[in-house]
Amino acid sequence: MHADPDTFSQLASAISGLHLQPPPENVLPSDTTVTQARGKLQATLSSSGVGFEETIRHIREDLAPGFNGSSRSPNYYGFVTGGSTPAAALADNLVTIYDQNAAVHLPQESIATNVEDSATSLLAQLLKLEPSQWPHRLFTTGATASNILGLACGREYAIAEASAHRSDTVSSVGELGIVEAMHRAGIDKIQILATVPHSSLVKAAGILGLGRASVLDVGLPNSSHKFDIPQLKKLLERPGAASIIAVSASEVNTGLFATSGLEEMQEIRKLADLYGAWIHVDGAFGIFGRILTSPAHSDIISFCAGLDLADSITGDGHKLLNVPYDCGFFFSRHRDIAERVFQNPNAPYLSTGAATDSLVSPSNVGLENSRRLRALPVYANLTAYGADGYRAMLERQIELSRGIAEYLIDSPDYELLPGSDRPKEEVLNGVYIIVLFRAKDEGLNKELTSRIKAGRKIYVSGTAWDGKPACRFAVSNWMTDAKRDLPIIKHVLTDVVEAWKKT
Ligand SMILES: Cc1ncc(COP(=O)(O)O)c(C=O)c1O
């Protein structure tokens, strides 16, 4: 297939035109617009179709007004939503045009799998992970899928480690099934030892037959995101148990990291090796803290130190990498484990053939057999902006988060969460890209999220903290600019309080 220069230039100018336009004035459409757009959805399949032109008009005029401005607005702070840079947007459209199935490594036929290998290698370098030590690297649909991969590999590894004490044959869950593999390994329990795990990790435990109840809290009583190391050791020692240790590198509600530095990770690694446990890091957005270098970010740098001692790492592309939905990534040190879990038996049509390099087919080490070339937008961004570009982007996001946190600490009407007696400077130094808060007035607090959203200028997610409603900012868009965005945020938060006081 030959690259068509017109395709590139038309797409590139359409996309840069879109990005040159100012972001939408409001982050949310009005209720009426949403209702109208929903009402225009086709309810009945037409027999002859309306044709290409009318379909384009329908999508542009009838449906698009009903979409929110999540990625296109730097003032959308819901969930953890990255945007899509111009380079990633162009590449993502090219992914569709070239429509490669990045499933089987066929080096004589397409470089699709090489693009994925190269993109994951550049990404590993960005995150200060030595690519050769992470030979199992894949793009996924998101952090949820990556957490499923992490627990699937951890399950395979921990049971094999337990069986190694009893015989020289490997008990493989992929081959024997979980019941038989556990029986042969002489274990009756698989436990996932975690502090404040993301819901998707618990969901992954349910999907994989480990059970949501297998996720055990090993957090400290007064600091629930931190590991209670003696308790961790006690649970690892349990006879008849195989273990996966799940490290939450920046929790979605608070942004807090489970580990505070290299020594703690070294201690956890030592325990894992002693008891044959697998360490999985959920660093959906927290793993990007490893990009930072400035003394202003020394706390975050030390929270991320030693995460490379894990066996597997989850990350998200559609968060801080600012590539479009959907894109996650997964890194593991153990490709042999992945080959035991994800192999496609009896499928000669999926074999790599005469490949002489060391790449494997993604379909044999990951979930899907057919896969989109998600790697290209990541490759494009890393090529376009480099390590310094990403560091500068994250620094701007942290600057805004800390500006919001400072405003909340100083405000008589709001409270930064979790509450702390520490000096303001210390608290601010620990702020990454998540800011959790509530209104001091209980009445306002109950309505806070909806009142902020009603203004449609900024978007925050509602959540709960200590049994009460709370709000959170997740600052993750590539366009973030503290000088422009902080005054908008302060204005909205001040207006909400003033309007409440008048009621
Ligand atoms: C720490 C963490 N893990 C996993 C996920 C799930 O990510 P995704 O929605 O991309 O599957 C999230 C989403 O916010 C997260 O913050």
Question: DSSP secondary structure string, 91-158?
Answer: HHHHHHHH---TTS--TTT-SHHHHHHHHHHHHHHHTT--GGG--EEEEESSHHHHHHHHHHHHHHHH
**Ligand 1 binding pocket includes 197 (Cβ within 6 Å):** no
Nearest to 255 by CA among 80, 432, 490, 89: 432
Whether the bond into 418 is cis, omega within 30 of 0: yes
The answer to whether residues 154 and 206 touch, using CB atoms and an 8 Å cutoff, is: no
Ligand 1 lined by 78 (C-beta under 6 Å): no
Helix (H) or strand (E) run with residue 463 in it? strand 459-465
* Residue labelled with tokens 């945020």: 489
- Which positions ≥6 away from 231 have C-beta within 8 Å? 218
**What residues contact 264, with CB distance under 8 A and at least 6 apart?**
227, 229, 306
Query: How far does residue 189's CA lie from ligand 1's centre (Å)?
Result: 27
Residue 162's Cα: distance from chain center in Å? 31
Task: State the Cα–Cα distance between residues 204 and 211, nearest whole angstrom.
Answer: 9
- Which residue is listed with tokens 């030595």? 130
CB neighbour list of residue 416: distance below 8 Å, 6 or more residues apart:
405, 408, 409, 427, 435, 436, 437
What's the pLDDT score for residue 1? 52
Q: Tell me, using a 6 A CB cutoff, whether residue 289 lines ligand 1.
A: no
- Rounded to the nearest whole angstrom, what is the distance from the C-alpha of residue 252 to the centroid of ligand 1? 7
Cβ atoms of 332 and 134 closer than 8 Å: yes
β-bridge pairing 468-474 and 434-439: antiparallel
Those residues with Cβ within 8 angstroms of residue 302's Cβ, 6 or more apart along the chain or in another chain: 260, 261, 262
Q: Is the CB of 191 under 6 A from ligand 1?
A: no
Is residue 254 lining ligand 1, measured as CB closer than 6 Å?
no
Say how many Å lie between the CA of residue 100 and the centre of ligand 1: 26
Q: How far apart are CA 92 and CA 76, in angstroms?
A: 22
Q: Are 243 and 277 in contact (CB under 8 A)?
A: yes
Q: Which of 193, 194, 198, 100 is closest to 142 using CA atoms?
A: 198
Distance CA 456, CA 453 (A): 5
b/e 8-25 (16+ beta carbons within 10 angstroms → b):
eeebbeebeeebeeebbe
198 C-alpha to ligand 1 centroid (Å)? 7
pTM: 0.96
pLDDT score at 175: 94
CA of 319 from ligand 1 middle (Å) equals 9
Vertex 152 angle, CA 182 and 201, to 5°: 115
Partner residues linked to 316 by β-bridges: 328
Mutate to test the pocket of ligand 1, among 144, 280, 313, 432 (most ligand atoms within 8 A of CB): 144
How far is the C-alpha of 243 from the C-alpha of 158, rounded, in Å? 6
For 412, list phi and psi in degrees, rounded to 5: -75, -15
Q: Output the six-digit token pair for 461.
A: 């997610």
Single-letter amino acid code for the residue at 421? D
316 Cα to the center of ligand 1, angstroms: 7
User: Is the distance from CB of 452 to CB of 462 less than 8 angstroms?
Assistant: no
Q: Is the CB of 200 under 6 A from ligand 1?
A: yes
Q: Which of 139, 247, 252, 307, when mutated, tests ligand 1's pocket best, judged by the most ligand atoms within 8 Å of its CB?
A: 252
d(CA 310, CA 308) in angstroms, rounded, equals: 5
Tokens 């008990």, residue?
171
* Residue of the CA atom closest to atom 2 of ligand 1: 284
The conformation of residue 24, written as its DSSP 8-state character, comes to P
Q: Write down the pLDDT at residue 10.
A: 82
Residue 440 to residues 415, 448, 462, Cα–Cα distance (Å): 6, 11, 16
Residue with tokens 């699937």: 152
| Contact 317 CB / ligand 1 (< 6 Å) | no
The residues pairing with 415 across neighbouring beta strands, listed in sequence order, are: 438
Say if ligand 1 is within 6 A of residue 485 CB.
Answer: no
> Distance between the two ends of the chain, CA-based, in angstroms?
66
pLDDT digits (tens), the chain, 503 positions: 556 777 788 888 888 777 777 888 899 999 999 999 999 999 999 999 999 999 999 999 999 999 999 989 999 999 999 999 999 999 999 999 999 999 999 999 999 999 999 999 999 999 999 999 999 999 999 999 999 999 999 999 999 999 887 776 778 999 999 999 999 999 999 999 999 999 999 999 999 999 999 999 999 998 999 999 999 999 999 999 999 999 999 999 999 999 999 999 999 999 999 999 999 999 999 999 999 999 999 999 999 999 999 999 999 999 999 999 999 999 999 999 999 999 988 777 777 766 678 899 999 999 999 999 999 999 999 999 999 999 999 999 999 999 999 999 999 999 999 988 899 999 999 999 999 999 999 999 999 999 999 999 999 999 999 999 999 999 999 999 999 999 999 999 999 999 999 98
Residue of 141, 247, 316 with the most ligand 1 atoms within 8 Å of its CB, for mutation: 316
Q: Ligand 1 pocket, 198 CB below 6 A?
A: yes
Best of 200, 202, 288 for a ligand 1 pocket test (most atoms within 8 Å of beta carbon): 200
Question: What totals of helices (H) and strands (E) does the chain contain, helices first?
Answer: 17, 14
Structure tokens at 141: 């649909």
pLDDT at residue number 345 = 84
CA of 82 to the centre of ligand 1 (A): 12
**DSSP labels, 208-241:** TTS-GGGEEE-EETTEEEEE-HHHHHHHHH-TTE
Assess whether the C-beta atom of 315 lies below 6 angstroms from ligand 1.
no
Encode burial over 207-224: b for 16+ CB neighbours within 10 A, e otherwise: ebebeeebbeebbeeeeb
Sign of the C-alpha dihedral computed for residues 424, 430, 432 and 437 taken in this order:
negative
Using DSSP's 3-state secondary structure scheme, residue 57 falls into helix
CA dihedral 454, 456, 457, 463 (to 10 degrees): 60
**For ligand 1, is residue 363 a contact (CB within 6 Å)?**
no
